Amino acid sequence: MAPPLLLLQDIRLTFGGRPLIESATLSVSPGERLCFVGRNGSGKSTLLKIAAGLVEADSGNRFVQPGATLRYLPQEPDLSAFPNTRAYVEDGLGPGDDPYRASMLLDALGLTGEEEPARLSGGEARRAALARAIAPEPDILLLDEPTNHLDLPAIEWLEETLAGLRSALVLISHDRRFLEKLSRATLWLDRGTTRRLEQGFAAFEEWRDAVLHEEEKERERLDRKIAQELDWVRYGVTARRKRNMGRLRKLEGLRTEKREQRGPTGQVKLVASDGELSGKTVIEARNVSKTFGDRAIVRDFSIRILRGDRIGLVGANGAGKTTLLNLMTGTLAPDEGTVKLGTNLEMVTLDQRRDSLDPTMTLSDALTDRRGDTVIVNGEARHVIGYMRDFLFQPEQARAPITALSGGERGRLMLARALARPSNLLVLDEPTNDLDLETLDLLEEMLDDYPGTILVVSHDRDFLDRVATSVIVSEGDGRWTEYAGGYTDMLAQRGAAAPARTAAKAAAKGEGKPAKAAAEPRASVSKAKLSFKQKHALETLPARIEALDAEIAKLETTLARPNLFAADRKTFDTATARLSAAHAEKAAAEDEWLTLEMLREEIGG
């Protein structure tokens, strides 16, 4: 095995009280693909800075192979000392490096090189920093959240580019799909120490859960030992005659071991405050268009969003996702067409750009809107310190300014603010930015249980697959198309749909035969027929759905009567139970009808 290009051994670093990093090791060999994972605040970015030589550890050793080149991508690149992006990227080249690569990478990332740093967006700054890190083709690339603020085309380009480099990679990222595609080994920083798995990220979560389960069993064994020793000290026959100092020392040693154990970091508790039930139709847009100057951002777009839908918006930066979102939520008027919002809507927006955060505010003030020390969650008053703990903030951070928070902590703060407000329509703009993988899991579970409607803009493919019931995709020239399912489903449908422009390209390349072959299986399907039972269900289900709609409306009217609960508890309980059952029956009927209708269309009527 080749000697490591970079080696950190027994790294220890303390900020204030408890050590942030107690005993960390990092070894990077030539061509290695290592993903670096851990909870927000565990010290991943700090250890990467130590590896890059930007931060000095309190103790431990750092070794870099003589002659090896290393480049580091920070989370928040600083271009302020350079006149434009080209100068910034070229400054990262070493002696003998090809300046053409700087221009080539800038162009591939959608930059001209003439952009002024003061006018760059977060995504543009990240693209310039990526070009600077990749251009020299270093022996070691240390990348801290390289996909943050990048759109899907840029993320997919980055995956292909990094996969083709000879450089060794160390990656910190919240993007599961990105890590699964690029990593071959995993380093886990947990409670100040590192553990290594010689497999890529796809195997990490199962391995992590097994490690934590074994630790829990070990803690239970330790608790039993302590209980046995205490029992002996209190009630043992020998103990009553004369204390055995060896047993007492053993008991004290067990207690010390338990005190010094660092259990797993607590989990974020994500619970959205429920608003009142919205109307069945949440948003209905008809033939909506919006143009800025000569450019059509949205052209002739129509959609009907029902209560409970989870809609993802996908497109390159600048395609108009935010504009479309604003049109659908009524915050921006269309040039043509109409947008009708449903009844009883309570909308909460999560702005991941964090423009709504005043940097001079303290964490406590941001959560309470400077209204004392309580937060109202689901109609109940909670002390702000307790609510902070749900999102893994410590009590001493209550008076800390927002500027002192890390990117992940600010992401959790935005979630805490948004979820405290009652809502039945959640509008999420890049909610996954800076969140660790465990918090992402909990966010996905919370959204799955959320009773309202969700609109989400995201470039995280795995997140969209887990959350979205349909995605709206930019097709270019202001055209937007809705596809059922998540991101992967959308890719499959776009491929199967064979739009005209794809067919034209295939014809130009002489690819007619594969298209004909692909059509043959459909001919055999068309020989099948619907059964009598299926035909009957297809004909009768629409009437059944309408009847359930009418019943639901009647039950909702009954439950809306003032003082029904106090005046007639039996009627209230009966109507509530029936309303829940009617909603379930309707959902099942709609699913069955949709399945049968798709089958009918596939076999030709």
Which residues are known binding-site members for ATP? 38-45, 315-322
Helix, strand or coil for residue 68? coil
| Binding site feature residues | 38-45, 315-322
The letter for the amino acid at 278 is S
Q: What is the CA radius of gyration of the chain?
A: 29
Q: What CA–CA distance (Å, rounded) separates 226 from 230?
A: 6
Burial class (CB in 10 A: 0-12, 13-18, 19+), 510: exposed
Q: What CA–CA distance (Å, rounded) separates 122 from 407?
A: 13
The 8-class DSSP code of residue 482 comes to E
Asked if residue 157 lies in contact with residue 106, where contact means CB atoms within 8 angstroms, the answer is no
The letter for the amino acid at 579 is L
Q: What CA–CA distance (Å, rounded) separates 482 from 459?
A: 16
Asked if residue 449 lies in contact with residue 424, where contact means CB atoms within 8 angstroms, the answer is no
Asked if residue 134 lies in contact with residue 165, where contact means CB atoms within 8 angstroms, the answer is yes
Q: Is the dihedral of CA 75, 67, 167, 99 positive or negative?
A: positive
Query: In what side-by-side order are the strands of the sheet with 295-306?
Result: 295-306, 281-292, 336-341
Name the β-bridge partners of 467. none
Q: What are 256's two structure tokens?
A: 């010390």
Provide φ and ψ at 64, rounded to 5°: -120, 130
Q: What CA–CA distance (Å, rounded) separates 345 from 352?
A: 22
Of the candidates 289, 279, 309, the one whose C-alpha atom is nearest the C-alpha of residue 480 is: 289
